[in-house]
Amino acid sequence: EVQLVETGGGLVQPGRSLKLSCVASGFTFSSYWMYWIRQAPGKGLEWVSSINTDGGSTYYPDSVKGRFTISRDNAENTVYLQMNSLRSEDTATYYCAKEGNPWGQGTLVTVSS
């Protein structure tokens, strides 16, 4: 059974950092691009980051570029999202995903003083 399990969310002050993890199981992790997508409370979906199979190529929208870093450890079947200089507008549920289904259950990040 394919599973994606995110951890690392929580309450953090503006300007601080947080690192999310997503552990994958049930498929050949190293063969798949991985993605982070977020959803602010009561709002729509926003693509946050993509990483290719070997981690050599990463992509971000302007809203997080320079602040967020996606990485992966294929030996540990894990994808990460390092989030620096967090802002209130980064408050959202962060989902880990691969092509198709399922997505992870999401982890809530709240940026507030």
What are the residues binding other proteins (CB under 8 A)? 37, 44-47, 50, 59-62, 95, 99-106
- 50/77 with CB nearer other proteins: 50
Least Å from the CB of residue 106 to other proteins: 6
Of 46 and 73, nearer to other proteins (C-beta) is 46
Please spell the DSSP secondary structure of 23-90, one letter per residue. Answer: EEESS-GGGS-EEEEEE-TTS-EEEEEEE-TTS--EE--TTTTTTEEEEEETTTTEEEEEE-S--GGG
Least distance (Å) between residue 96 CB and other proteins: 9
